[in-house]
Structure 1
Amino acid sequence: MKQDSTVFLRKCKGLPFVEVRTALNSAVCYHAHSHDEFSFGVIDNGTARYQNLKTTNRIYKLDTVTINPGDIHSCNPDSESWSYRMLFVDAGWIGAAQEETFDMYSADYNGFLRAHKTDHGLYSCFEVLYNALMQGTNPLASESFLLQYIVRNFDREENAGDVCRKMSSSVVGRVRERLFDQLETNHSLHDLALDAGLSRYHLIRKFKSVYGLSPHALQIDERIKRAKELLKQGTTIAEASTQLGFADQAHFQRNFKKRLAITPKQYQSFFI
């Protein structure tokens, strides 16, 4: 494991579908972004303003934060620094665990209904899970603790309804598909609005209402997520920047750091 002054990244031994991010006395701020994975974790010190889609919370020490795949969110400290630990778990694995545990067959996965929890018992459960994952000596124990944590967060009562985040079949959903299918293309707002049969203003308004970001910002966010996978595979920063349609490496690196608080080079160093 490599590190900078405040942030640690680690892929878990024996559980390759789990990544751990730890921030110690960090002052970094995050631009609104999303993840393909489920992400959840705890606040160890300090306070922060946490925004998930249209909901904003003030979060404190011992609080738990939960984020569904695709949720546009940001979480930034109130003061000079804060400390937290987050897990990123493959959505497919979560879905399979839910199906196995709760006999759910109607969705790919069920999402968290609440983005913020103050259950300090949940903090203690996370502590046990985190320590097992960081030790990495017993994958059986680590996966067992992870399943127990999942059961505690996704019980039958909380997920009685189908809260699966499926792609919208609406007009803005089709625009989103076009942006993601042509990720390297820098579309004009005029062309997207014309394709959707909406004015430019109404396209932006409807799109932000559904996804929390403008079309351009959501495409940038998806590019950064794809960039993470390319960097893990050993793709150079220059190649990733070109493949994903960034104007230049500086534009790529600036947007990457806004969302992950580290540079592409620093991120790649954790995995290569």
Structure 2
Amino acid sequence: MTASHAPDIRNNCFFARSPSLPQAELRLADHSSACYGVHSHDEVSFGVIDAGSARYQNRQRSHRIGTTATVMMNPGDAHSCNPDNGEWSYRMLFIDSQLIGELQAEIFQCQGQDYLSFPGPLDTDQQSYQAFNALFSALQQPDTGMAESLLMDYLALRYATVAPLNKEVMKTDTAGVRQVREMILDQLDSNLSLDSFASETGLSRYHLIRSFKKVYGQSPHAWQLDQRIKTAKRLLREGESLSDTASQLGFADQAHFQRNFKKRLAITPRLYQSFFI
């Protein structure tokens, strides 16, 4: 999280509303010994275990789960999940079912129901765990475009077995990709939305994301961040201050800039600049 969105951890856990998607709520439990009776949620909910093991019950079936396992609950699913012994650490996402349904309709070109149910209550695939990590991190940041992109990617992964992608969605639209690339480069300091990209190209947001990733290996918003960091390196070498660099390139604040810089270069922007000034 940014400095202004640092988690307020109390009793080894915290709850937070996502600053990028208000329909999403995050929960983290760190070395907690808490236990839960059978209950349900109004939201679509899913989560991962980061440490320890637990007994997970959902849809009248019991599972023993460990580190990196992903659990999934549809709205109204009666479930419980409790540690086998002592403490455990886990993270959860609770997302409004209406938003999930809208994104599913956009991704899979399916209409006529509120939302697609999870194909199963449990997944132990490492790819699912990694995708959850990326989404959980993005939902703690103020970048709505990045959060939406990763949420759609995650839903496409989660529901692929019950709603295969439409063949039209699988096609790469290179003309649309070029348009988006030019938009990003022309407005590098602007936080362009997926809606603005879709409006400019005439493509659905998810079709656009898939096409862009096929060409550049990243979503439009991730690619924009890379271009910002490349430009930031030049500005820092020229003596620009960290705060002015962050402001010029459209970062939410200096902490947001520093975090993304270090994530890509494994060095802080201040230390990077010290080699040139």
TM-score in terms of structure 1 length? 0.56
**CA distance in 2: counterparts of 1:82 and 1:104, whole angstroms:** 38
Mapped contact 2:108–2:163 kept (Cα < 8 A): no
Q: 1:4 aligns to what SS in structure 2?
A: coil
Matched, 1:124 2:151: no
Q: Which one of 149, 155, 159 corresponds to residue 154 of structure 2?
A: 149
**CA distance in 1: counterparts of 2:54 and 2:158, whole angstroms:** 22
Q: Which one of 156, 162, 168 corresponds to residue 158 of structure 1?
A: 162
Q: Deviations over 1:23-71 (max 9, x none)?
A: 0001000011000000011110000000012111001001111110000
Mapped contact 1:113–1:159 kept (Cα < 8 A): no
TM-superposed deviation, 1:132: 1.3
**CA distance in 1: counterparts of 2:154 and 2:55, whole angstroms:** 25
Q: Which residue does 1:99 correspond to in 2?
A: 105
Mapped contact 2:20–2:139 kept (Cα < 8 A): no
**CA distance in 1: counterparts of 2:163 and 2:109, whole angstroms:** 12
Q: Which residue does 2:187 correspond to in 1?
A: none
Q: 1:87 aligns to what SS in structure 2?
A: strand
**CA distance in 2: counterparts of 1:119 and 1:59, whole angstroms:** 12
TM-superposed deviation, 1:2: 3.1
Q: Deviations over 1:167-202 (max 9, x none)?
A: xxxxxxxxxxxxxxxxxxxxxxxxxxxxxxxxxxxx
Mapped contact 1:43–1:64 kept (Cα < 8 A): yes
**CA distance in 2: counterparts of 1:144 and 1:68, whole angstroms:** 22
Q: Write out aligned runs for 1:33-44 (5 A).
A: 33-44=39-50
TM-superposed deviation, 1:100: 1.1
The number of aligned residues is 158
Q: Which residue does 2:25 correspond to in 1?
A: 19
What amino acid is the match of 1:26?
Answer: S
Q: 1:22 aligns to what SS in structure 2?
A: strand
**CA distance in 1: counterparts of 2:157 and 2:59, whole angstroms:** 23
What amino acid is the match of 1:123?
Answer: Y
Identity %: 42
Q: Deviations over 1:203-242 (max 9, x none)?
A: xxxxxxxxxxxxxxxxxxxxxxxxxxxxxxxxxxxxxxxx
| Aligned alpha-carbon RMSD (Å) | 1.2
Q: 1:5 aligns to what SS in structure 2?
A: coil
Q: Which has the higher contact order (CA 8 A, sep 6+)?
A: 1
Q: Which runs of 5+ in 2 are unaligned?
A: 1-6, 165-277
Q: Which one of 112, 118, 121 corresponds to residue 115 of structure 1?
A: 121
**CA distance in 1: counterparts of 2:61 and 2:11, whole angstroms:** 31
Q: Which one of 135, 138, 145 corresponds to residue 143 of structure 2?
A: 138
